[in-house]
Amino acid sequence: MKKTTLTTIKKFIKDNDGKLFIKNLTEFDAYTDGLIHSKNSTFKVAEKKEYDGYGRDNTLGIKNAWFVFDSRDYFENYNDENFQGYRITNCTGSFILARESA
């Protein structure tokens, strides 16, 4: 099986433009300086986020997604009865980017 990399995720986003869903599992909480489980963690249609032109685009164009880059994002395949895609985990939280299963 081929290793999942950031390039794999970028291609998945590009190939499924307009068909992506996101499910935030955990998120960073500044009050506790750590990760907390997301409330109402369900799949939602992934909204596009325009790049503001400052620094690196850590969202890769997807609202509520956050990548830290430099080999600090961890990827694993995700499949259930309704969705297939990738789970992304890093120091800022974890989320699933997926498309509907065929």
Could you read off the pLDDT of 28-79 as tens digits, one per residue?
Answer: 888 888 888 888 789 999 999 888 778 788 999 999 999 999 889 999 999 9
Quick one: which of 51, 57, 62 has its CA closest to 21? 62
Residue 13 belongs to what domain range? Answer: 6-100
Confidence (pTM):
0.88
- pLDDT for the residue numbered 44: 95
Predicted confidence (pLDDT) per residue in 45-59, tens digit: 999 988 877 878 899
Tally the domains of the chain: 1
Quick one: which of 70, 72, 60 has its CA closest to 20? 60
Give a yes or no: residue 1 inside a domain: no
Give a yes or no: residue 51 inside a domain: yes
